[in-house]
Amino acid sequence: MSAIRNSVFFILILCSFFRLAECKAEEDIVFDAGKVSYGGVEMPYRVAHVEGEGKPLLAIYLHGGSSKGDDNATQLNEAGIDSIANYLKSSQTAAVSLVPQCPADKSWGGPMLGVLKVLIDQYVEDGGTDKDRLYIFGGSMGGTGTWSMLSAYPNFFAAAMPVAGNPSKSIADNVAFTPVFTVMGTADRIMNVETTSDFIVALEARNGIAIMEVEEGWTHEMTCIQRYTARRLAWVFGHNRDVAAIESPKVGGDASRSVRHYSVDGRLLPESPRKGIFILRGADKGKFIKF
């Protein structure tokens, strides 16, 4: 009798386990496979549909250099993808999430920018996503690619979050049309914090909306993994392109005179900070950028 009771108990536990596993599987966000071709380049990608309220926004994520290839799977291992998708799901935001994979012999630049644009257009032109709520994210090589997309297609995205990337080859006049939130780490030995900081100053001098957070002690890898907090994602997804485009950026300007650095509590800082959180404000703006 005792053996029978133990067997029944084991079966009940096993059934409970499978029910939990089934529930978890139902809750997982599934990324289906796809492929796009343009200019002689074939690029695999993954796409997920997040259920929620309103017309779906579109979020595209550009991976780092170690995820290049053609298996259409390696790029899904990057932590930022789950962070973004789970944020959208938890906030009940309808969305289409695109995760392309860069071919092994390419990078997110040059001809790949056109391929990415064709992919995005496929999901916009059929009316399936909100053209005024297009967002782009990326880390490392993907961060540099994000800067490049903003430079190549000004006023196309509602907002962007390039992380641990290099904006030095991007055109500030073009990038300034898009609100940007970037994160860098002081222990990053691959991407230069000062290069990004100077570019943020150039954007602000052109009346752009730009925030940079520098995390003390974060390496390149740590920055790529830990950067997508709910607060930062809320800032990015809180922008809408038709609203952001009301006031166009001004071209030119003297960054050394038009930019001041403030702490988050409104204190004017004596010099440009190299770590922590800071706010850039043009001398002629009369308002803070808060988040």
Q: Give the model confidence (pLDDT) of 62-111 as tens digits.
A: 999 999 999 999 999 999 999 999 999 999 999 999 999 999 999 999 99
Q: Give the model confidence (pLDDT) of 216-228 as tens digits.
A: 999 999 988 888 9
**What's the whole-number mean pLDDT along residues 275-280?**
47
Residue whose structure tokens are 């166009």: 248
Confidence of residue 271 (pLDDT cuts 50, 70, 90): low
Q: Give the model confidence (pLDDT) of 26-36 as tens digits.
A: 357 899 999 99
Coil, strand or helix at 273: coil
Residues 135/59, Cβ–Cβ less than 8 Å = yes
Confidence of residue 251 (pLDDT cuts 50, 70, 90): very low
**What's the whole-number mean pLDDT along residues 272-286?**
44
The closest alpha carbon to 248, from 130, 126, 109, 155, belongs to 155
pTM of the model: 0.77
Q: Report which of residues 2 and 102 the model is more confident about.
A: 102
245 CB-near residues (< 8 Å, 6+ apart): 155, 177
Confidence at residue 126, expressed as pLDDT on a 0 to 100 scale: 83
Confidence at residue 127, expressed as pLDDT on a 0 to 100 scale: 81
What average pLDDT does the structure give for the chain? Answer: 81
Instruction: Map out the domains of the chain with their CATH numbers.
Output: 32-256 (3.40.50.1820)
Please state, for a pLDDT cut of 90, what percent of the chain lies above it. Answer: 67
Measured CA to CA, the distance from residue 261 to residue 266 in angstroms comes to: 9
Confidence of residue 232 (pLDDT cuts 50, 70, 90): very high
Q: Give the model confidence (pLDDT) of 38-66 as tens digits.
A: 999 999 999 999 999 889 999 999 999 99
